[in-house]
């Protein structure tokens, strides 16, 4: 009995820690919004002045290759956006900000709500994001293999932006696992407390 309780509280602790860890990249990733604003503004200003090629250098660097032009800046916009979206998923999960329809569920007990989340995470969230991580890894590997890059002379290394898909999926997946652990821990410890209360009252 005692050991089961400490086991469930350990589950809650570890699950919570995992959930928090997965949310961290999104929390800091929110700074990407500021960068996005600046990059789009740079594109607007550049277009006003009719700029096209901005800089070039000899040693190629990842993502940019050996040149920076307006096409690169244009493509950088959706690169940043993709990263932001895939990082924000796990963060929003931790803060419980994904839309729920609570017309009926407001009347559910805490216990029922925990069970709904555990089942949902286990049978909907985890399988989907596991598959998405698996298949998007191949998707990225293919881009890497072919050396896919912009066909308008912009950014190179398309595999980098495709990598946000497996990275984000794994974050959401692990956040989901963390939430299941936490919720199962909560459910067990709540059960134990009820049993304990019953025990003392009898």
Residue 156 interacting with another protein (CB under 8 A): no
Contact criterion met (CB below 8 Å) for 90 and 25: yes
Cβ closest to another protein, residue 7 vs residue 33? 33
Residues binding another protein: number (CB under 8 A) = 64
Binding positions for another protein, 95-114, rule CB under 8 A: 95, 97-106, 108, 113
Strand (E) or helix (H) holding 179: helix 164-201
Q: Based on the shown chain and the rule CB under 8 A, indicate whether residue 31 belongs to the binding site for another protein.
A: yes
Q: Report the alpha-carbon distance of residue 154 to residue 72 in Å, rounded.
A: 4
The reply on whether position 26 binds another protein by CB under 8 A is yes
Q: Which stretch binds another protein (CB under 8 A): 57-65, 92-100, 144-152, 189-197?
A: 92-100
Q: Does 152 bind another protein (CB under 8 A)?
A: no
Distance (Å, whole) CA 175 – CA 171: 6
Query: Which string of DSSP letters, residue by residue, matches 70-121?
Result: HHHHHHHHHHHHHHHHHHHHHHHHHTT-S----TTGGGS-HHHHHHHHHHHI
Which of the 8 DSSP states describes residue 123? I
Contact segment (CB under 8 A) with another protein among 10-18, 51-59, 78-86, 194-202 equals: 78-86
> How large is the C-alpha radius of gyration of the chain?
23
* Positions in the binding site for another protein (CB under 8 A): 26-27, 29-34, 36-37, 40-41, 43-44, 77-78, 81-82, 84-89, 91-93, 95, 97-106, 108, 113, 116-117, 119-121, 123-125, 127-129, 131-132, 134-136, 138-139, 161-162, 164-165, 172, 176
């Amino acid at each position: 009995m005692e050991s089961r309780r400490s086991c469930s509280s350990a589950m809650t602790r570890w699950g919570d820690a995992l959930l928090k860890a997965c949310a961290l990249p999104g929390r800091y990733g929110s700074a990407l919004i500021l960068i996005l604003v600046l990059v789009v503004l740079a594109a607007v200003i550049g277009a006003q002045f009719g700029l096209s090629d901005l800089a070039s250098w000899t040693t190629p660097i990842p993502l940019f290759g050996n040149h920076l032009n307006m096409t690169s800046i244009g493509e950088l916009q959706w690169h940043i956006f993709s990263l932001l979206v895939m990082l924000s998923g796990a963060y929003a999960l931790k803060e419980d900000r994904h839309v729920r329809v609570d017309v009926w569920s407001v009347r559910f007990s805490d216990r029922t709500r925990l069970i709904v989340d555990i089942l949902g995470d286990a049978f909907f969230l985890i399988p989907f994001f596991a598959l998405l991580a698996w298949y998007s890894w191949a998707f990225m590997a293919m881009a890497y293999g072919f050396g896919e890059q912009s066909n308008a002379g912009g950014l190179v290394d398309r595999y980098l932006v495709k990598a946000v898909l497996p990275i984000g999926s794994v974050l959401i997946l692990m956040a989901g696992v963390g939430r299941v652990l936490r919720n199962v821990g909560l459910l067990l410890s709540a059960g134990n407390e009820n049993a304990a209360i019953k025990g003392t009252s009898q």
